[in-house]
Structure 1
Amino acid sequence: MKNQSSTIFQGVNKKEFLIRNTFRLAILIVLFLGINTFKASCLNKPPHVIIGYVAGYDGLVDMNMIKPEKLTHLNYAFANIKNNRINLKNATTDIVNLRNLNKLKIKNPDLKILISVGGWTYSNNFSDMALTDTSRKAFARSAVAFVEKYKLDGLDIDWEYPGLPGAGNVHRPEDKQNFTLLLKALKEDLNKLGKRINKKLVLTIAADCSKDFLDHTEMNKAQAYLDYINLMAYDFLNDPPGKTFHQAPLYPSKTFNNNNSIVQSVQRYLKEGIRPEKMVLGIPFYGHIYQIKSDARSAVGAELKSAVGTKGFADIKDSLINSGQFQYHRDTTAKAAYLFNPHNQQFVTFEDEWSIRYKCKYLKDQGLAGVMFWEYSNDEKGILLQELNRMMK
């Protein structure tokens, strides 16, 4: 038998052989570590976001109600705009609320707290503020200084709506481009502050689902400056009007007069070139109550007489569902729940655990970033939030 070592080293000195194989071994180790690091990063992807809005305009917020461990982001609503600067209309209680919200990070250090500017009531001054480069920069400086002062994690802009009247607001055609320029100015100043304090700061918007909103904005361009686009996928208008409809149907209904749906809205955004990982699906934690005309025998296709009002999910569950006076129904086509009281002819369109499951599955299938809900106090017992957490795993 030949000496194996002499065969191996034939034509190559021993020192050179060891150097070559050590080098090869090092390459294999680097490749092994790299592949496993990549696998680990894939397995430990950040979860879907769960963004909740908490309303401060009614006074001090009950912090015991909030479960920070079940949230990724909490948007405090709302700040106003005055003289092209961010403004707290109820400063006495707002400041206390913001400080108390920051204390929630003791339970969840990863929780992001944002100040939301605007909303349905405070959107009147957006168009004037966004009109010029000077006024946009003045607002951006004031808003980012606000973020730093109250140790927040970013801004949420809820302009309802650029180029459209909303609640009778000032609006102009230039809003379309100015909205994009406003977001650009905000993002640039947030990035400067973030670099200075070594912290990633977030910029989001609340966005309407309608074609009108997309026609009056440049969302394809604006998304470059946004971390998330919170789609207000609720309060759909009945089309044609005058008959019962769902406030937030996932799919078009075969039985209710509503040609609007969440699926149609999301697809509209995707066709505009909006990246799915920036889109967050909004879910209502409340419902609408309507009075149906007295000759209606069921809620399906019934003519509406008047709007009675809105109720939070907790109230709907306790005072309506548990009363035994309302019949609970599911539109299995639209994936929407509703109630009907045949005695007083009331129809209630609302969100529940069943409908939420379908929405969560849909957004995950579409690769959306996660969910947003309005508004925290409407689910005091945390029933819907618990379902969101279960489905987002």
Structure 2
Amino acid sequence: MSLLFVVAAAAVVAAATYAACPCKSPSWCESIKTGPRKEVLGFTTKSDHWPHYDWSKVTTLALFHDIDNATMDLVCYAHSKGVRVVNHGNFDVADLLNATARAAFVSDQISVATANYLDGVNIDIESPLNSTAMRAALVELVAETRRAFAEAIPGSQISYDVAWSPDCIDGRCYDAVGLARVTDFLVVMSYDERSQIWGPCVASANSPLPMTARGIEEYMNLGIDPYQLVLGQPWYGYDYNCSSLDAVGLCSLKHVPFRGAPCSDAAGVERDYAVVRQMLKNSTRVWNETFSAPFFNYVAPVDGKTHQVWYDDPESLALKYRYGVDVGLRGLAFWTVDSLDYSSTEGQGDAKAMWDAVVV
């Protein structure tokens, strides 16, 4: 199957689909064609939270949940606000050298996008990659996707999620420069920065400011324009069960290897910010100056074990947001915009504080 055939078929699908627009206004079924702008991209994993997002801040929503009948309500509303909605895309790297498999991926993505009036795709491939040929094929896959989308959905957006640093994090030895060249922007996932712990196996910040800044600067040192980088930030933290807690508060962890490293954040449990806020009610927040991040300790009622929770909140996030502004980044992204409590009065106050801190 040639990519020309894929594009032609997608154009027919798009024309047929747009004729039956389910939105209140037919214009809301049209793709957002706004040119390059500051981006606030929200990764969304739940289909029912979108009415509570701060629509004055968000510019793109990346769907990381199944597309269902309610998705169209989201798309109509987002388009009425000038906000793009993009699907997520994953691909088995074992098939990167298979041109037919790549073409099928592109075809599937365009079919989903045109059937649901979406504005593009956020490609999230995080598998290890060490071969020069496969690195080149990954760039070609993304380039093929962008060319086909540009033809089928004018104004569409193609982004790619990369690790917090280009330095082969978790075995992801990608051609970052090549990926930047064939996308609208890269989302630098500046979180899970302790997925591979090579030093002392202890609990620490998920997205410390110094480490985050170092990763961004490594991308810029490759020659990537900062305006092609979006700073991904965590709206969650990690709850670690301490094997021991020493006199200065270091929480030693069980060794859980990951992709060659002897220790990793997999020793902890991921907690949404809404959950962290509830846990914090019976604990004392401590600010770590070195990492510009908060944490707290608590004793688990079930087994009496001491736990240490590292997370981000409006104070720690605002410092990194400001850093992004200062170095001229394209904007921000959040994993995930569904990590907040939008239901209770208390939770809504916390959610507002998180959204209010956003600055691009």
Range class of TM-score, shorter chain: 0.7 to 0.9
Alpha-carbon offset, residue 265 of structure 1: 0.6
Alpha-carbon offset, residue 341 of structure 1: 2.5
Matched, 1:76 2:63: yes
Aligned residues, how many?
Answer: 301
Q: How does 1:196-345 map to 2 (within 5 A)?
A: 199-210=154-165, 211-213=167-169, 216-237=173-194, 238-251=197-210, 261-299=211-249, 301-305=250-254, 307-318=267-278, 320-323=279-282, 326-341=283-298, 344-345=305-306
Contact 1:328–1:339 (CA under 8 A) maintained in structure 2: yes
Instruction: Report the Cα distance in structure 1 between the residues aligned to 2:53 and 2:69, rounded to whole angstroms.
Output: 15
Q: Which residue identity lines up with residue 73 of structure 1 in the other structure?
A: T
- Against the structure 1 CA distance between its residues 162 and 99, is the aligned structure 2 distance closer, same or farther, given a 3 Å change threshold? farther
Instruction: Report the Cα distance in structure 1 between the residues aligned to 2:234 and 2:193, rounded to whole angstroms.
Output: 11
Instruction: Report the Cα distance in structure 2 between the residues aligned to 1:142 and 1:74, rounded to whole angstroms.
Output: 19
Contact 1:361–1:391 (CA under 8 A) maintained in structure 2: no
Query: Tell me, what secondary structure is at the counterpart of 2:174?
Result: coil
Contact 1:233–1:281 (CA under 8 A) maintained in structure 2: yes
Alpha-carbon offset, residue 243 of structure 1: 1.3
Alpha-carbon offset, residue 111 of structure 1: 0.4
Instruction: Report the Cα distance in structure 1 between the residues aligned to 2:352 and 2:220, rounded to whole angstroms.
Output: 27
Matched, 1:175 2:134: yes
Instruction: Report the Cα distance in structure 1 between the residues aligned to 2:128 and 2:147, rounded to whole angstroms.
Output: 21
Instruction: Report the Cα distance in structure 2 between the residues aligned to 1:149 and 1:207, rounded to whole angstroms.
Output: 28
Instruction: Report the Cα distance in structure 1 between the residues aligned to 2:79 and 2:141, rounded to whole angstroms.
Output: 33
- Against the structure 1 CA distance between its residues 386 and 204, is the aligned structure 2 distance closer, same or farther, given a 3 Å change threshold? farther
1:372 to 317, 322, 333: 333
Query: Tell me, what secondary structure is at the counterpart of 2:161?
Result: strand
Per the alignment, residue 12 of structure 1 pairs with none
Q: How does 1:16-95 map to 2 (within 5 A)?
A: 48-56=38-46, 60-78=47-65, 94-95=67-68
Q: Which residue identity lines up with residue 183 of structure 1 in the other structure?
A: V
Per the alignment, residue 83 of structure 2 pairs with 111
Alpha-carbon offset, residue 392 of structure 1: 1.4
- Name stretches of at least 5 consecutive residues in structure 2 with no aligned partner: 1-34, 256-266, 343-347
Matched, 1:141 2:102: no
Per the alignment, residue 9 of structure 1 pairs with none
Alpha-carbon offset, residue 388 of structure 1: 4.7
Contact 1:63–1:100 (CA under 8 A) maintained in structure 2: no
Alpha-carbon offset, residue 96 of structure 1: 2.1
Instruction: Report the Cα distance in structure 1 between the residues aligned to 2:254 and 2:179, rounded to whole angstroms.
Output: 41
Instruction: Report the Cα distance in structure 2 between the residues aligned to 1:218 and 1:175, rounded to whole angstroms.
Output: 10
- Against the structure 1 CA distance between its residues 226 and 292, is the aligned structure 2 distance closer, same or farther, given a 3 Å change threshold? same
Aligned-residue CA RMSD (Å): 2.5
Instruction: Report the Cα distance in structure 1 between the residues aligned to 2:286 and 2:180, rounded to whole angstroms.
Output: 38
Query: Tell me, what secondary structure is at the counterpart of 1:174?
Result: helix
- Against the structure 1 CA distance between its residues 159 and 357, is the aligned structure 2 distance closer, same or farther, given a 3 Å change threshold? same
Query: Tell me, what secondary structure is at the counterpart of 2:62?
Result: strand
Structure number with bigger Rg: 1
Instruction: Report the Cα distance in structure 1 between the residues aligned to 2:136 and 2:36, rounded to whole angstroms.
Output: 33
Greater relative contact order (CA < 8 Å, ≥ 6 in sequence): 2
Matched, 1:357 2:307: no
- Name stretches of at least 5 consecutive residues in structure 1 with no aligned partner: 1-44, 79-89, 119-124, 165-171, 252-260
Contact 2:238–2:311 (CA under 8 A) maintained in structure 1: yes
Alpha-carbon offset, residue 162 of structure 1: 4.9
